[in-house]
Structures are given as structure tokens and as C-alpha cells.
Amino acid sequence: MTTIKSIQIVDLQSQYQRLKSEVDPAVQEVMTDGNFINGKQVSQFAEELSSYTGSRFTIPCANGTDALQLAYMALDLKQGDEIIIPAFNYVAAAEAACLLGLTVVFTDVDPVSFNIDPATIESKITPATKAVVAVHLFGQGCDLEAISSICEKHNLFLIEDNAQAIGAEMIQGKFAGKKLGTIGHIGTTSFFPSKNLGCMGDGGALFCQDEELTARIKMMANHGQKVKYHYDYVGINSRLDTIQAAILRVKLEHLDEFTKARQKAASSYTRILKEKKGITPPAISPFSTHVFHQYTILFESNETRNRVKSQLQEAGIQSMIYYPSSLHLQKAYAGTNLPTGSFPVSESLCERVLSLPMHSEMTEEIVEFICSKIDLSEIVR
């Protein structure tokens, strides 16, 4: 048995070593060509990602936060328009909305899947509501059938934030077989290095099935211009670097294999952890496959969660709390005037979740080692 010294939540170095013989020549080619902006690899990658996801169009951009901002801009969301966003979430969807002057309307999540709860959406809809952001958290899909029918009924745009679930697909209902990110009016994703499909810097993309809307997204990402120096809209500059596209082309070839490794590690974790009283392993959604961007467990109390986090830290194992505070309680979003208790599920999850190491290079040995350091015997009786 090899000695395990310290374990990070993601292991990008080992993945790079394994793919070095493919990544290095791809990067070298860009260096030699010198087309660092909009080189051929960018459009090649966009096409390859379209054929992987089944999306009609893929528009690369600089990062996943820009992708959300571009989605709002292309859908012509304006100051005062309301947008419904889950409170248990990464900040990007709310942040981009606020920057454009949209009114963020937070809503609660489902206690089992941690995804936006469709049952809470309808009560948030007002005449000013224009869109819903369905964030496919931790690697599995929201109940898109329910959410899309609410959106259709109220004439709202559906934006899928698929930064954490690239490669996952719907397995139930009318969207069965479709990849997440390709179902809403616009889907967005991030290629942040630790994402399931990560580059070696920043990157992002949008997915769209409509030609006209795609043209608007492209213009918005390019200073609002179609013809150089002729600006039809106020846009932004958001591009995927050629070097990152070249790296992503290599990694896309391996995405399914990365996903399988994550799923295998997740089932080993669950097999061991379900025997430990006081821990709830992640539930698998009935709506989609799970690509385990995160392996997030739930404890009965904040005290137990924090104790286990310390146990892991003492053993040299990194774990993370995604997310430590519900967005409505964060200082920057206090303007929504929602007191503690507004979103009981989201608030309770923040107290009790813990994400364990999860990446494409996980082995059975690593999973067993991590689980062996979790000792609830003195805490849970």
C-alpha cells in the first residue's frame, strides 16, 4: 500500500501528468501558430462540444460568470426585471444579475437533491418576473420538466447554469436523453480548472438552440458588434483563449472517462459512508444522471459536520463547505431584505453539508483512506 500524505479536494497535477503527452503538443501548436485570440481551436472546440452535448450552437466565452451575464444580456433582461435564482448556490447567477440592475428573487431548494425546488418557484412569480435560473448543483439535474412547464405557463425564460454538471443527461420524462444545458432557452457552463471539464485558466460557454439568439449572444460577447467597429448593442469582451480551447479539445475526449472515475469513486464513498450513523450520502436524482462535480454529504448537526471537517484536516485531507452561507444572508445581497429563516432548507444545508475530495484521479485506496478518518462514534450515539 502506498503511503498517503495529504489529499486535496481536486488533483489537477496528477490529471495533467496523465494527459501531458496530449496537452503539451496541443499547447505548443498554439504557441507556434501565434493565434492566441480566436485561433482555429476555439471554433473547433465549439463544434466538438456541440456534437458532444447535442446542442445546436455552442458559444465559447471567458468564464462561467460571463456566460450567465451574456445570457441575461442576450435575452434583453433589463433593470427592474425579476429573475428567480436558488439561494443555496454559487454567487455567479445572482452577481451577474445585480450588475445588470436586475432584481434577484431568491428561492429555496429541495432538501434531498439540493437543487431549486419547483414547488417554491410559482409563488415568487410577479408581473415583473422574466426568467428562472435552474442551477444543476454538484453534478445532477434539476426537475427541468416541472420548471420548464412553469416557465412556459408564465412566459419566462429558462436559463440552465450547467457549470457543475457538464456531461450529465436527463433520464426521465420528455427531456430523457438530452444533455443538461441544452434544454433551456440558454445553457451556460464554466471551464474553471476544477470543473469536470476544466481548462488551465478561465473559460466558459453558452449553449443555445435558436439561431437568432445565438447571433445576439455572439455579438454581446464581442462588444455588441457583428461588423468590426459597428456597435449595435452595448456588449462586453468575453473570449475563450486559444490555448484554453486547445487544452479543452484534449480534455473533452476524456470527459466520459473522467465522469466514470468520479461515479466509481462516488459509489465507493456511498458504500462505506452509508454504514456510518449520522451521515447521509448524496441522493441520486430521478431526473438525470449524476456526474459528481462534488461528493457532498449531509450531517445531522453543524457540530458534527465541523468535527468531521477537523478530523479530516488533522489527517491531511482537504474538505470544503459548499456553501457556508445562503446567498440571501450574505452582506452583498442583504438588499433583498430576507431575514434568517426565509429559506429554511438552504440555511440548514449550509450548516450541515461537507464536500469530500472528488476528481478524475480518485482511487479506491484514496476513498477508503478518507472514509477511515471519519469517526463519528464519539459524536453520534
Choose among 8, 59, 364, 64: nearest CA to 210.
59
Select the residue interacting with ligand PLP from 151, 163, 250, 374 (CB under 6 A): 163
Binding of residue 86 to ligand PLP (CB under 6 A): no
Binding of residue 158 to ligand PLP (CB under 6 A): no
Quote the CA–CA distance of 213 and 316 in Å, as a whole number: 48
For ligand PLP, the binding residues in 61-80 under the rule CB under 6 A are 63-65
Quote the CA–CA distance of 100 and 85 in Å, as a whole number: 15
Binding of residue 244 to ligand PLP (CB under 6 A): no
Q: State the minimum distance, in angstroms, from the CB of residue 93 to ligand PLP.
A: 6
3-class secondary structure per residue, 156-175: CEEEEECCCCCCCEECCHHH
Select the residue interacting with ligand PLP from 55, 69, 164, 182 (CB under 6 A): 164
Binding of residue 238 to ligand PLP (CB under 6 A): no
Select the residue interacting with ligand PLP from 88, 106, 192, 287 (CB under 6 A): 192
Please check whether residue 44 is in contact with residue 50, taking contact to mean a CB–CB distance below 8 angstroms: no
Distances (CA, A) of 315 to 6, 303, 333: 8, 19, 36
Quote the CA–CA distance of 217 and 223 in Å, as a whole number: 11
For ligand PLP, the binding residues in 196-235 under the rule CB under 6 A are 202, 204
Q: Which residue is nearest to ligand PLP (CB)?
A: 64
Size of the site for ligand PLP (CB under 6 A): 13
Distances (CA, A) of 39 to 35, 210, 307: 5, 25, 50
Q: Which stretch binds ligand PLP (CB under 6 A): 12-20, 37-45, 58-66, 212-220?
A: 58-66
CB closer to ligand PLP out of 133 and 151:
133
CB closer to ligand PLP out of 65 and 288:
65
Quote the CA–CA distance of 84 and 148 in Å, as a whole number: 13
CB closer to ligand PLP out of 245 and 366:
245
CB closer to ligand PLP out of 72 and 192:
192
CB closer to ligand PLP out of 135 and 291:
135
Residue 210: alpha-carbon gap to chain centroid: 23
Buried-state track 327-355, b at ≥16 Cβ within 10 A, e below 16:
bbbeeebeebebeeebbebbbebbbbbbb
CB closer to ligand PLP out of 50 and 194:
194
Residue ranges in contact with ligand PLP by CB under 6 A:
63-65, 90, 92, 135, 161, 163-164, 190, 192, 202, 204
